[in-house]
Amino acid sequence: MYFGPEHYLNRDAAAGKVMSHARLLLKLSRRFTTIAPVGMRGAARVANYKSGIVVIHADNGAVAAKLRQMGRRLSSELSQGGLECSDIVVKVQPRQNLGQSSTSTVKPLSGKAFGMLQTTSENLPPGPLRAALEHLLARAVRQE
């Protein structure tokens, strides 16, 4: 017979507290989604709740500032959902996009730029700057 993870988490007292808090956060998240302005629903989310204080993470400073301005209204509307909400703390916490790669793009040098750098390199005395330019030119991709 299959029992899901929730079955086991509800049976243990310590895990039961975690599940209870998770359900509370889920309820708050749903309530926040219904009362938040349409443009901010995707840019902010409920992060935590403790002692009557709701912590909201915003994706950027503009959204955070607007939510702070609306703090009292949001607090009273969250309280109408049956949960004590005495204050709202808004923090800027951008979402992490784990699927996004940060590979660099190849930017080729034009023929004119390559020629100017080569001329400059040839006119420099031997030293670290000339060596760096020669290294750059050796590795550079030329634009055709």
On whether residue 101 sits in a domain, the answer given is no
Query: What pLDDT shows up at residue 144?
Result: 66
Q: Is the pLDDT of residue 115 over 80?
A: yes
Residues recorded for the chain: 144
DSSP label of 127? S
Q: What is the CA radius of gyration of the chain?
A: 28
On whether residue 98 sits in a domain, the answer given is no
Distance of alpha carbon 21 from the chain centroid: 23
pTM of this structure: 0.60
Q: How many domains does the chain have?
A: 2
What is the three-class DSSP state of 126?
Answer: coil
Per-residue pLDDT tens digits for 49-89: 998 899 999 999 999 999 999 999 999 988 887 788 889 99
Mean pLDDT (the chain) is 85
On whether residue 78 sits in a domain, the answer given is yes
73 and 138 assigned to the same domain: no
CA distance 130 to 128: 6
118 and 141 assigned to the same domain: yes
69 and 9 assigned to the same domain: yes
Which segment of 43-57, 84-98, 117-131 scores lowest on mean pLDDT?
A: 84-98
Residue 55's Cβ-count burial label (10 Å; 0-12, 13-18, 19+) is middle
